[in-house]
Amino acid sequence: MSSPAAPVLAASDLVKIYPPASRAGRPSTALAGVSLDLAEGTCLGVVGESGCGKSTLARLLVGLERPTAGTVLLQGQTVTSFRRPELARRLQLVSQDPFSSLNPRLTVSSALTEVLLVHHRVDGKKQAAARVADLLEMVSLGPQFASRLPHEMSGGQAQRVAIARALAAEPQILVLDEPTSALDVSVRAGIVNLLAGLRTDLALSYLFISHDMAVIRQLSDQIGVMYAGRFVERGPWQSVMSEPLHPYTRALLQAVPEPHPDGSLLGGPEGSAEESTEGTLEPGESPAAASAQTGCKYAPRCPIRIDRCLTEEPPLEIVTGAHEAACYRAGVPVEPGDVPAEAGGVGERA
Amino acid sequence: MTDRDVTSAEPVLAIRDLSVGLRARSGVTELIRGVSLDIRPGERVGLVGESGSGKSLTMLAVMGLLASPVAVTGGSVTLGGTQLVGASDRTLRALRGSEIAMVYQDPMTSLDPLQRVGEQIAEGLRAHGVSRHEASERTVAALAEVQLPDPARLARSYPHELSGGMRQRVMIAAALAGNPRLLLADEPTTALDVTIQRQILSLVARIQRARNLAVLWVTHDLGVAAQFVQRLAVMYAGRVVEVGPTTAIFSDPQHPYTAALLDAVPSTTGERAALGQIPGSPPEPGSFPAGCSFASRCRQALPRCTRAEPILEQRPSGVEAACFVPPAEWRA
């Protein structure tokens, strides 16, 4: 990704290998070489399915874990070299479950005040009270929420408080790890809109992680698609969504149940639209990044693979403009008749 | 099977004016209020709503699985000719697995981690009088029908050896092994990745058509509803506020709640604009307001909406909606 200014957050060749869970187990590779640049004031959306490594990436980026190899640079400095409060004033993580990040015994006001005082963002308690009111207003919660405890709030309200708490430290960057995944449709819409507004108002930079293509599209300038611990595609949101290059991205987009009935799974005679849809879907599930298989990790499921895909791993390369893909067959259309010869052991279906 | 065939057939399941409440010494707190819904052979019906709308509770009530102090407080549920409300445990047990089957969101809560999956399916069949030999044959056939590879070997595996998608296939195989007429599903694909979800939905759609099965699919995901069900009931605060053909509801919603919900769903296509929001939050059971439960959050609400409760009425588009204000009179 090219950007005129230096990135606020940059990762290069991140590898994370977890030790075996048991003596008989094998080490597990969660990330197998991930590089990214987050340009100031932009949102990079990272999308992928379970086990693709996106949450591990979040944990490495915020310094919660150290990479096995590779570096994370925050404003040019190694992220793990920052003292915790210094880091927290630059970078905050918002996770899926707001209740896990809020102390159940602290009122909203106390929780926010604590952050404000620790980070010297206010002079004394009186100023803190005014700032708490500001923060609540920023996340569209009324002043009455100041005295609430976490259990007195709904999931959406608690997520707003978690966002306010992250903002209290006045960071420049938010790493958002599935912040809307546990929420109901109407509540999720409110949080997505809120995050979009805050980014503009406060000139924040976002790394936004989600399994949901439609939510990612809503907020991102750039979208990166992860599979088996790597980016397989990345580029401007319009290009990735409307001209996906990697067959995995296309399968992912095709699998999203769109809120517009198109009859693809609706009734109808045998051999109708449903059957053809099923034919273009790859069997199997995402393999662990650790899988011993050589070449492209997606090849066993890929309907348009060629022999080279099974032996050589394609690097992430520019295909057009700023649109990158890690695929020897980038952009090759999938014909309805293309199905993998066999699922090669990772398959779900015979 | 055409739509006309579906609507003219006798319903497999008829829910009439079903109410469910929480009984306490101080009185009954209403949780589900007057839900009516028919499901006919060969029909896939969706029940959608947000948390607390009563969709899962409706399903549990149909299965006779409500646990005290939550109980059916009114109405009826008939399966074929059998009244399920108030039926004995013995009657219900005989029906579950043979006439009605159910799949849940988390297969790990219904699968015994210490028993091979094949034995678990066979056990269900044996409970309905199937011989040992036939049960084992039908188990392998059921696993093959859900397209699990090498079903005979897979029958000998334990749940933890399978992926989430495979476990959900096993649950569907177990549900369908007894050859039920009605499948009830409570968010069975919600915990799965979208690519796996798509495979499961395709699979169920195919089996459903082949067997002319009646399906009631509970989901919070409007995308899944749009793609998968022919008819849809939208629940809010314990009531069905809109019901009708899926295509009609999505193209021309008749209830302001349905319309607002559809506006709140992001899409992977079309213009990128701010999502629609619904102010406030749904009323809690026990404090359902007078009149329409959605009125306090509704942009279209008129003074009468807080006084009288609208009932489901037929609209020209073919759906029924419980709202005094037709879309033609909606404010932008």
Give the DSSP letter string of A83-117.
-HHHHHTTEEEE-S-HHHHS-TTS-HHHHHHHHHH
B26 and B175 inside one domain: no
Looking at every residue in chain A, the average pLDDT score rounds to 87
Chain A residues closer than 8 Å to B163 by CB: 285, 348
Which of A183, A186, A276 has the highest number of chain B CBs within 10 A, making it the mutation to test binding with B?
A: A186
Span A232-246, average pLDDT: 97
Total CB pairs under 8 A between chain A and B: 163
Instruction: State the nearest Cα–Cα gap between A227 and chain B, in angstroms.
Output: 13
Cα gap B103→B146, rounded to integer Å: 14
Q: What is the pLDDT of residue A272?
A: 41
**CB-based contact A257 B205, cutoff 8 Å:** no
Question: Is position B185 within any domain?
Answer: yes
B171 and B156 inside one domain: yes
Q: In what order do the strands lie in the sheet with A317-320?
A: A91-94, A173-177, A205-210, A43-47, A222-227, A230-236, A323-325, A317-320
B80 and B32 inside one domain: yes
Nearest Cβ partner of A214 from B220, B262, B266?
B266
Question: Is position A211 within any domain?
Answer: no
Span A182-191, average pLDDT: 92
Q: Is A17 exposed, middle or buried (0-12, 13-18, 19+ CB in 10 A)?
A: middle
Instruction: State the nearest Cα–Cα gap between A105 and chain B, in angstroms.
Output: 24
Q: What is the pLDDT of residue A285?
A: 57
Tokens of A108: 């909203």
**CB-based contact A277 B202, cutoff 8 Å:** yes
Lowest pLDDT segment from A22-26, A76-80, B144-148: A22-26
Q: What is the pLDDT of residue B157?
A: 95
Q: What is the pLDDT of residue A3?
A: 46
**CB-based contact A259 B223, cutoff 8 Å:** yes
Lowest pLDDT segment from A216-225, A260-269, A329-338, B322-331: A260-269
B169 and B199 inside one domain: no
B37 and B135 inside one domain: no
**CB-based contact B199 A264, cutoff 8 Å:** no
Question: Is position A48 within any domain?
Answer: no
DSSP 8-state secondary structure symbol assigned to residue B64: T
Cα gap B174→B101, rounded to integer Å: 9
Domain-ending residue, one of B269, B299, B314: B269
Question: Is position A19 within any domain?
Answer: no
Note the pLDDT tens digit of each residue in A81-106: 999 999 999 999 999 999 988 999 99
Cis (ω within 30 of 0) for the bond into A4?
no
B166 and B211 inside one domain: no
Question: Is position A59 within any domain?
Answer: no
The reported pTM is 0.90
The chain A residue lying nearest B212, using CA atoms, is A267
Question: Is position B219 within any domain?
Answer: yes
Question: Is position A273 within any domain?
Answer: no
Nearest Cβ partner of B163 from A267, A282, A348?
A348
**pLDDT < 50: residue spans in chain B:** 1-4
Instruction: State the nearest Cα–Cα gap between B264 and chain A, in angstroms.
Output: 5
Half-sphere exposure of A114 (CA within 13 A, CB side): 11
Cα gap A136→A144, rounded to integer Å: 9
What proportion of chain A, given as a percentage, has pLDDT over 70? 86
DSSP 8-state secondary structure symbol assigned to residue A334: P
**CB-based contact B277 A189, cutoff 8 Å:** yes
Whether the per-residue pLDDT at A276 is higher than 70: the answer is no
Q: Please choose, from the candidates A231, A217, A204, the residue with its C-alpha nearest in 3D space to the C-alpha of residue A297.
A: A231
**CB-based contact B150 A278, cutoff 8 Å:** no
Residues contacting B270, CB < 8 A, separation 6+? none
B25 and B74 inside one domain: yes
Note the pLDDT tens digit of each residue in A297-319: 999 889 999 999 999 999 999 99
Count of other CB atoms within 10 angstroms of residue A299 = 26
Whether the per-residue pLDDT at A288 is higher than 70: the answer is no
Domain-ending residue, one of B252, B269, B286: B269
Whether the per-residue pLDDT at A26 is higher than 60: the answer is yes
**CB-based contact B264 A156, cutoff 8 Å:** no
Q: What is the pLDDT of residue B8?
A: 65
B90 and B126 inside one domain: no
Chain B residues closer than 8 Å to A193 by CB: 274-275, 277
B41 and B67 inside one domain: yes
Note the pLDDT tens digit of each residue in A323-346: 999 999 998 887 766 655 443 333
The CATH number of whichever domain residue B211 belongs to comes to 3.40.50.300
Instruction: State the nearest Cα–Cα gap between A327 and chain B, in angstroms.
Output: 20
Chain B residues closer than 8 Å to A139 by CB: none
Question: Is position B30 within any domain?
Answer: yes
B88 and B141 inside one domain: no
The chain B residue lying nearest A48, using CA atoms, is B193
Q: Please, are residues A39 and A8 in contact by the beta-carbon 8 Å criterion?
A: yes
Quote the domain boundaries for residue B216.
3-99+180-269
What proportion of chain A, given as a percentage, has pLDDT over 90? 75
B167 and B186 inside one domain: no
Chain A residues closer than 8 Å to B250 by CB: 259-261
Q: What is the pLDDT of residue A264?
A: 65
**CB-based contact B268 A218, cutoff 8 Å:** no
The chain A residue lying nearest B45, using CA atoms, is A266
ipTM of the complex: 0.88
Report yes or no: A339 at the B interface, CB cutoff 8 Å: no
Question: Is position B137 within any domain?
Answer: yes
Question: Is position B324 within any domain?
Answer: no
Number of domains composing chain A: 1
Question: Is position A37 within any domain?
Answer: no
Domain-ending residue, one of B179, B201, B229: B179
B93 and B40 inside one domain: yes
Number of domains composing chain B: 2
Which of A157, A260, A286 has the highest number of chain B CBs within 10 A, making it the mutation to test binding with B?
A: A260
**CB-based contact A218 B272, cutoff 8 Å:** yes
Q: What is the pLDDT of residue A336?
A: 65
Cα gap A209→A177, rounded to integer Å: 5
Q: What is the pLDDT of residue A281?
A: 40
Terminal Cα distance for chain B, rounded:
39
Chain A residues closer than 8 Å to B266 by CB: 189, 192, 212, 214-215, 217-218
Question: Is position B24 within any domain?
Answer: yes
Q: Residue B257: left (phi > 0), alpha (psi -120 to 50), or beta? A: alpha
Quote the domain boundaries for residue A146.
100-170
Question: Is position A134 within any domain?
Answer: yes
Instruction: State the nearest Cα–Cα gap between B200 and chain A, in angstroms.
Output: 10
